[in-house]
Structure 1
Amino acid sequence: MSRSAPSRPFAGRRRAVVAVALALWAVCTATAHAADAQIVSERRVSARVVELQVSTPALAAPTRVTVDLPAGYDAQPDRRWPVTYFLAGTMNNDRAFNDIVGGLKLTEGYPSIVVSPDGDNGSYWSDWYNGGAFGAPKFETYVSDQLIALIDRRFRTIADRSQRVIAGVSMGGYGAVMLAARHPDRYAAVASISGVVDNSLVPTGAVLSISSTFDGGPVDAIYGPRATQEIRWRGHNPTDLAGNLRDLDLQVRTADGLPNPGIGEQLLSADTVSCVVEAGVYAASVSFHRTLVSAGIPHAWKDYGSGCHTPENFQRQIVDVLRQFQTVLAHPRPVPASFSYSSIEPDFDIWGWHVAADRRRAAEFLRLDDAGASGLTLTGSGLTTVTSPPSFAGVPRVDLAGATAGSVVPDPAGRIRFVVDLGPPDAAQQLTPGATTRRVRRAVSLRPQAVVVITRSRPTRGHLRVCAHTVGGTVAARLAVTGARRRVLTRGRVVPLGPEATCRSLRWTRRLRDARGTLRVTGTDGVGHPVAARRTFRVPAALRR
């Protein structure tokens, strides 16, 4: 609006354990970030509208947030709700959704809290470079790290990625898609409404360069001059980050910049300038759409034909966006079993993984491909340190191929930490004229040693009832039962064991004479590790003969 996975769980029980662990990690991380921002005042504007003042070190001054409550929020005090974040455009603020496009009316039947933060006049919803000094304003940090946690703490939200979506108009469309691409583990869906979603085009890049002046900053304060800081422009550009959006529900909507009298636009009016703006937005949206198609990334694409950068055009798009959001929230996608992701940050967290690049390395893209519990592929330079999600709880050791160490022991939470050598760290910043970079691609496989867990060994008159499962993979297990002096009581039996409980009945081949017996499980897991487990059981006197 112109201010006119995952780790891949092994299966079954492992999947549930990993999902819970990732949820706890997200909650703990969100709680920590929420402590960085505080609500300093709150005002009930109307039955459905709450206005907050938020203080955060990410911004130079307190900032306002408008929260639209869904119909029924007060009448249903035990109900929790999804959250929709709506980002405004250049020269707009948090009230634009309600005051300019009639958002309160548009969301009368929409079952979600709608949160509209203020993005200043031309922040592009980014953490600013500020000539290399960085510091405030840091709108990406504020929205994705702090505001989400703050809203989840203050309101009755469903604090889960599957119930959180984000959209924006114009600069807000850029911001929404940029934030979703850089933090795909925090949003289930994203929509660009006439968004400036490709900063590599000359007109859109020029507008972004001067937008920092709308808030009193110098030209190019947001990402720096393109001549020397192209990597920062690309590292925030939705079109360059398109691959990060594969696991989100994605909408790209735009009009073509020709006036549409059918929705109330007039050529010989103030709408004329807005038509020029929409034509630029259209070019950016088409470029983004073509990149998504080329990469095979599913998305909803809607070219509305005639329409300018006006509230009337935005309103029809918002109606369609909310309809698709409602479907996404009602039918959430599962967490991806594996993922791919690119970032220019020196260290980052994504889907429970933490990645720290070599501190000697200049700014460049670091790419993860097919990251999951069985491994990942890294592309970059320097010694890169990787910490996994808590996927290996109960596993004694994980063998590594492609890392600097051959094996590693998980920490008490089930995480592993390893280093990957991607060659010498690049000294020259990627995409800088004359720079030479030598990025290395290396695959790392993770091979956890499986453990057999025996959960039942109950003797009856005719057999021993046995139940067992594994942690860390599958095992081709041989089951045998012995009594005193290792007297064999059953025939050996080979049973495939996995994360789900497997139960078998082992028939006695000899009379039960001993007060105790031992169940022994031996075998190898799926990657060749030897596995052994045993459990002693008591034989009731009534069964001995």
Structure 2
Amino acid sequence: MNKDIKAVVIKPDHYSAGKKLPVLYLLHGFSGAYSDWILKVPAIKGLSDQYNMLIVCPDGAFAGWYFDSPMSKEWQFETYVGVELVNWVDKHYATIQNRAGRAITGLSMGGHGAFYLAFKHLDTFGAVGSMSGAVDIRPLSDAFGIEQVLGKYSEHPDRWEKNTVINMVYLIKPNSLDITFDCGYDDFLYPVNQALHQELLLRKIPHDYTVRPGGHSWEYWANSINYQVLFFSDFFNKKGK
């Protein structure tokens, strides 16, 4: 996109250039920014220390949706987060530079983004999560800025169908990706998360799926991230042996 984009990089207490660590990429939601997680859930700094992993919070713009837009070169966030940022982090920090040392998750728009990037970049990410994820973008066609990235649904339905997470499950095979996702029962995105759960069951793709009380809120995500990071730590430890 030919511009500088900020990101947050959280290093654990025991970070040193001599020991390579796993990385969790943590995505923000619609109308957010790279600083959302660190400002609204500062406890993630403690999770980095506790589990001895780097946490990287990219910027996906106000409504970038982590796509490479076919309409504008200003919206190329799949390439930025899924390729360029990963390469930059590996170059500048002591990281495990393969999919066994990388996981990605996010909230809402970022939950969509995490699944989207992991499904399309299986050689980059070994584990994926989502919190209150917009895992089917089609019901959101009249809002949330997606049409500026993909075009209007009424004019380009093929783009929307091809790029919605629930239609991309065919890209993965059972046990090719460690998957965890959750959603609050009172969340407006609960039905699409339930549908994704059923689709994964139908295809016999192992995954952890959790429904808790709660809505589309930072209170919910601040709680959820604790369980997600535990899941990714287990993945890293399992792959590291």
State if a TM-score over 0.5 links the two structures: yes
- Residue in structure 2 matching 1:155, options 65, 76, 93: 93
Q: Residue 69 of structure 1 corresponds to which residue in structure 2?
A: 11
Q: Residue 118 of structure 1 corresponds to which residue in structure 2?
A: 59
Q: Against the structure 1 CA distance between its residues 101 and 245, is the aligned structure 2 distance closer, same or farther, given a 3 Å change threshold? A: farther
Identity of aligned pairs, percent? 26
Runs of 4+ in 1 over 6 A off after TM superposition: none
- RMSD over aligned CA atoms reads 1.7
Q: Against the structure 1 CA distance between its residues 207 and 284, is the aligned structure 2 distance closer, same or farther, given a 3 Å change threshold? A: farther
Q: Which runs of 5+ in 2 are unaligned?
A: none
Residue 86 of structure 1 contacts residue 114 of structure 1 at CA under 8 Å; is this kept in 2?
yes
Q: What is the distance in 2 between the residues matched to 1:285 and 1:206?
A: 19
The equivalences for 1:335-484 within 5 A come to none
Aligned residues: 238
Q: Residue 198 of structure 2 corresponds to which residue in structure 1?
A: 290
- Residue in structure 2 matching 1:195, options 122, 126, 133: 133
**Secondary structure of the structure 2 residue equivalent to 1:109:** helix
Q: What is the distance in 2 between the residues matched to 1:106 and 1:96?
A: 16
Match of 1:116, as an amino acid?
C
Q: What is the distance in 2 between the residues matched to 1:97 and 1:244?
A: 29
TM-score calculated relative to the size of structure 2: 0.93
Q: What is the distance in 1 between the residues matched to 2:167 and 2:59?
A: 26
Match of 1:331, as an amino acid?
K
Q: Deviations over 1:186-206 (max 9, x none)?
A: 100000011111123x2x333
Q: Residue 205 of structure 1 corresponds to which residue in structure 2?
A: 141
**Secondary structure of the structure 2 residue equivalent to 1:63:** coil
Match of 1:281, as an amino acid?
L
Using the TM superposition, give the Cα deviation of residue 239 of structure 1 relative to its aligned residue in structure 2, in angstroms: 0.4
TM-score calculated relative to the size of structure 1: 0.42
- Residue in structure 2 matching 1:107, options 33, 37, 48: 48
Greater RCO (CA < 8 Å, at least 6 residues apart)? 2
**Secondary structure of the structure 2 residue equivalent to 1:228:** coil
Larger strand percent:
1
Q: Residue 322 of structure 1 corresponds to which residue in structure 2?
A: 229
Q: Which runs of 5+ in 1 are unaligned?
A: 1-57, 213-219, 258-277, 335-545
Q: What is the distance in 2 between the residues matched to 1:283 and 1:170?
A: 13
Using the TM superposition, give the Cα deviation of residue 333 of structure 1 relative to its aligned residue in structure 2, in angstroms: 8.9
Q: Deviations over 1:12-53 (max 9, x none)?
A: xxxxxxxxxxxxxxxxxxxxxxxxxxxxxxxxxxxxxxxxxx
- Residue in structure 2 matching 1:129, options 47, 70, 79: 70
Residue 28 of structure 2 contacts residue 107 of structure 2 at CA under 8 Å; is this kept in 1?
yes
1:92 paired to 2:18: no
**Secondary structure of the structure 2 residue equivalent to 1:252:** strand
Q: What is the distance in 1 between the residues matched to 2:158 and 2:168?
A: 12
**Secondary structure of the structure 1 residue equivalent to 2:25:** strand
1:243 paired to 2:170: yes
1:222 paired to 2:149: yes
Q: What is the distance in 1 between the residues matched to 2:48 and 2:90?
A: 20
Rg larger in structure: 1
Using the TM superposition, give the Cα deviation of residue 297 of structure 1 relative to its aligned residue in structure 2, in angstroms: 1.1
Q: Residue 238 of structure 2 corresponds to which residue in structure 1?
A: 331
**Secondary structure of the structure 2 residue equivalent to 1:144:** helix
Q: Deviations over 1:101-140 (max 9, x none)?
A: 222133330221111111111111111232xxx4222000
